[in-house]
Amino acid sequence: MMLGEKVENFVVKREDDQFKRLNVIVIGAGYVGLCTGIVMAHIGHSVLCIDINTDKIALLEQGMAPIYEINLEAMLAGCRNNLSFTTELPKRLGDTDIVIIAVGTPSKENGDADMQYVDQVIIDITSKIEEAQDLIIVMKSTVPIGSNQEMFRRVNNLLSDRGVQANVNFVSNPEFLREGKAIYDSFYPDRIVVGGNNDSAIGAVKNMYYPLLNKTFIMPQYMDQNFESSLPSLVVTDFLTAEMIKYASNAFLATKVSFINEIAGLCDKVGADILDVSIGMGLDNRIGKGFLHAGLGWGGSCFPKDTLALQSIAREYDYEMPIIEAARTINTRQIIFVLRKIQGLLKVIRGKKIAVLGLSYKPGTDDIRDSVSVEIVKRIVRLGGSVSVYDPVALDNARKELASDSVNFCSSIICAIESADAVLIATEWQEFLEVDWREVKLKMRSPIIIDGRNLLHKKILSEMGFTYVGVGR
Ligand SMILES: NC(=O)C1=CN([C@@H]2O[C@H](COP(=O)(O)OP(=O)(O)OC[C@H]3O[C@@H](n4cnc5c(N)ncnc54)[C@H](O)[C@@H]3O)[C@@H](O)[C@H]2O)C=CC1
Ligand SMILES: O=C(O)[C@H]1O[C@H](OP(=O)(O)OP(=O)(O)OC[C@H]2O[C@@H](n3ccc(=O)[nH]c3=O)[C@H](O)[C@@H]2O)[C@H](O)[C@@H](O)[C@@H]1O
């Protein structure tokens, strides 16, 4: 059974009287806000999810998800009794126990995290706090080191300006979900990090997560697994450390991918196979299997912006971070590598037609923010090539960004590869693995595959007569 297929069967064992149902407001209905709202509602809290984007809220009210992820809508449907949506904060926050902030913190031009949305939310919340109210503000957005402390002070200053005496506390609670697996990660996190300076507020956030921390909430399809061995770890720490854990984790993962991409570059030169190198390395438990998949490099709404933001923070201290700098440099270099490979095979890109399969920054999502694929399409167009693009879910999101006479948006793989001089696999969607490549070969002008994600079987495709080029193999 697929995750979320039979939501009504979900089991919540709440015989444990330690669990207390809370009134939770989640601000922001993006990936993080929406998944947080869904999880909180499923585990028994009463949740109001707020977003200023009226289109998003209108969709959500009709039970439709504004972002693509498998089973997201089924999960949404399964918790509507506990989850409602609106575009504005309620007039009074008197009944609210916890407000979770999950608005965006994109990069500014100079690389700093743009805090304008968080700042606005802080003003909005504080204006609604009432005399003698107890409220915990939980920060899930990824914010620069020192932000929670600063906002805590700011809220208290704003309250004293209004002459309101209330018991408001902050808890930093960074999010580690991955897009495409956001729902699963939200229900089954490896760890929950809570940073703060008030034991009672930290205790309340622990209670909020109680069913996840104790696995008293179980989806039936996972019941046969031994959950005791995989309970999420709880990390309780201070504000600054919680914020640093988030940035360090993303920077480390990005660096790990850049490391394997650097090795892949050398594999290309010496003739070794990066796929086996990754397996051979990953089997060492100290290294671990994850994030050793070489390819076009990392994109998305977080690794690029969070590595930039970390560098920005370091700059404030004149502290150099050469590893992160190198990780970013290698990531940019991957795009050049693939363009050189295309040029090596086609000689001149101008006038050639290249099919690009995959536009989202990774499979499982329709998100094209900082997608390497989208950047490569733009570069091919700049070099005079024409591009036919196909993606199972991200096509519509890319239409505006890639609007050009040289870009043809195709609704199928076959339409995209028709008369193409080369095909580039830019996102490793499973669908590309399952396509009949013999049929593809008959329709292409020249049978050239640049497999930017090392998705396909090199040997099989070579035997079919394709010129196959991967990354480091
Ligand atoms: N996308 C991801 O996979 C992850 C994101 N994060 C972090 O979580 C935060 C949110 O990320 P996403 O969900 O991707 O962002 P997003 O950009 O998809 O969604 C943010 C939402 O906040 C809304 N918003 C902005 N100002 C608002 C306001 N004043 N009141 C109500 N809603 C408001 C926007 O309309 C938008 O829908 C960021 O700091 C990000 O770094 C952390 C882990 C994973
Ligand atoms: O802060 C965030 O927003 C999130 O960022 C990442 O999650 P996400 O961006 O959704 O996606 P990942 O699966 O981490 O992939 C990021 C990029 O790295 C690339 N990647 C990943 C793994 C790999 O082995 N090779 C590789 O090229 C992917 O194609 C993608 O472009 C982290 O994995 C999450 O823990 C974190 O919460």
- What is the ipTM metric for this complex? 0.99
Query: At 216, is the pLDDT very low, low, confident or very high (cuts 50, 70, 90)?
Result: low
Question: Dihedral (C-alpha) 45, 46, 52, 58: value to the nearest 10 degrees?
Answer: 110
pLDDT at residue 271 tops 70: yes
**Overall residue count recorded for the chain in this entry:** 473
Ligand 2 center from residue 409 Cα (angstroms): 26
Ligand 1 center from residue 116 Cα (angstroms): 12
Q: What is the pLDDT of residue 227?
A: 46
User: What is the spatial distance between Cα 67 and Cα 393, in angstroms, rounded to a whole number?
Assistant: 10
Q: Average pLDDT for residues 408-420, to the nearest whole number?
A: 97
Q: Average pLDDT for residues 240-257, to the nearest whole number?
A: 98
**Pick from 220-224, 226-230, 245-249: least confident:** 220-224
What pTM was computed for the model?
Answer: 0.94
pLDDT at residue 423 tops 90: yes
Q: What is the pLDDT of residue 71?
A: 86
Ligand 2 within 6 A of CB of 299 = yes
**Pick from 36-40, 183-187, 374-378, 460-464: least confident:** 183-187
Ligand 2: residue whose CA is nearest its atom 3: 302
pLDDT at residue 52 tops 50: yes
Ligand 1 within 6 A of CB of 120 = yes
pLDDT at residue 228 tops 80: no
Concerning whether 302 is annotated as a catalytic residue, the answer is yes
Q: Average pLDDT for residues 70-89, to the nearest whole number?
A: 94
Kindly report the average pLDDT of the chain as a whole number: 93
**Pick from 105-109, 180-184, 306-310: least confident:** 180-184
Q: What is the pLDDT of residue 218?
A: 56
Q: What is the pLDDT of residue 219?
A: 54
pLDDT at residue 165 tops 70: yes
State both tokens at 197: 């300076």
Name residue, tokens 């001149």. Answer: 348
pLDDT at residue 74 tops 50: yes
43: left (phi over 0), alpha (psi -120 to 50) or beta: alpha
Best probe residue, ligand 1, of 36, 88, 145, 175 (max atoms within 8 Å of C-beta): 175
Ligand 2 within 6 A of CB of 292 = yes
Ligand 1 center from residue 265 Cα (angstroms): 35
Ligand 1 within 6 A of CB of 26 = no
Q: What is the pLDDT of residue 231?
A: 81
Q: What is the pLDDT of residue 145?
A: 98
pLDDT tens across 182-215, in order?
998 998 899 999 999 999 999 999 999 998 888 6
Query: At 90, is the pLDDT very low, low, confident or very high (cuts 50, 70, 90)?
Result: very high
Q: What is the pLDDT of residue 213?
A: 87
Hey, which bits of 149-290 come out as E strands? 167-172, 191-195, 217-218, 233-237
